[in-house]
Chains A and B, each alone.
Chain A
Amino acid sequence: MNLTLKVWRQDGPNDKGRMETFKVNDVSEHMSFLEMMDVLNEQIINDGGDPIAFDHDCREGICGMCSMYINGEAHGPGRGVTTCQLHMREFNDGDTIYIEPWRAKAFPVVKDLMVDRSAFDRVIQAGGYVSVNTSGNTQDANAIPIEKENADAAFDAATCIGCGACVATCKNSSAMLFVSAKVSQFSLLPQGEPEAADRVLKMVNQMDLEGFGNCTNTGACEVECPKGISLENIARMNREYLKASLTK
């Protein structure tokens, strides 16, 4: 198929940025979206131009690095996929495709389609851990049985890949889905209990400091999340937050 691409170009965080138009021909429907971008970049290099910068690494939907806003949707059309798992068979010959970076105050553009998501790291650093040293001198792994239902729910929350699609898609650029997934994982496990109150207060505080917006329960984040992280996590975090702010 032959495609027209409108791609966001921006030299750095302070550059104003612009859309550029490219043509890519003979795209196979079996290609992944990023492989199509590889073909485009090869074409740009051969024409003596500056290839488009974008983040990507594992190309199997787990590292969370790829991050394209395609035709107005985080990770493009299709549900439960990252950009690298999107295939060209989702598009038709002659289509015009708009490709933009994640847009959020807390995610400044590094170059073109690449953004700086270190705000997420700082939120985790504020409390997204259990304060146990790595000595190996802990108790036996089976010393505390954990109800399967809770273990499974903790796992589901923990599958967040930190890609930031939730922030990109939210009209408020809220990071509530991301933060609540980590808060939930630990609040569902006995190992996370001793620090639960401190954790939620510190992480939410950091989230606000980074400039993420508030949650207005629109639910777009859940729809666009490639890992299907549930809105229930936000509800759970709100309960944890309320509880903590009353007791701390």
Chain B
Amino acid sequence: MIRMDALMEKQYDIMDVSLLAGKIMLESGAETYRVEDTMMRIALSYGIEESHSFVTPTGIMFSIETDEPTKTKLMRISSRTTDLYKVSAVNAISRRISAGELTISAAYKELKSIQKAPMFFSFLIQIAAAASTSGCFVILLKGSWDNVLPAMLAGALAYFLVLKVADIVPTMFFSEFIAALAGGATAYFLFSLGFGSDLDRIIVGTLIPLVPGLLITNAVRDLMAGHFISGLAKGAEALLTALAIGTGIAVVMTLI
């Protein structure tokens, strides 16, 4: 009986490791099929021949089949960000588990430390990166050089607001709306002060860091892989984000 308990506990541990890996990946912006695949691979590496995972953007269901009754666990996912470092780190862990290099408890510990890992780049560097993309796009869209500086300033402000407002006001899409509003207003303000010559290109450059590129790409990937619920949900999120940005900029334009 004691052996049986130990065996059951081990199976629950395997589920915990799989679910934690899946949760980190999903919260960091991995594609649905990758999350499902990783979870089933981890379970398989620990000797669970048959497992089923059902992943949507808002929750994971995972069940394993053994000689005993099926065990199922559900995990709710409430926040999603983009952190590709975590996706690749969990992917590397999953590879090592498949190669038999990690025990269950070691894997769990490593995953926990990945989950807690802070962003690689400091906040300031991220803002600088946003400014750099905004500036680059003005040039890529055939704008002239005098538009680069206002786009960089407004783009940095917009990205700063997206990150900060989301912490203060948890309502979805509100931070994008505020960021587009403030970014557009700043761009117009700088333009009317005499910086730059082409307001349209400055505003497009400003908004580029806010574009939901990850969601669009993932939505398509998911749909094509047959994950219709995830694909539609991510598509809806991308569309609403785009609409929030559009509304923010529309408010600026009606005021001009």
A and B associate in one complex = no
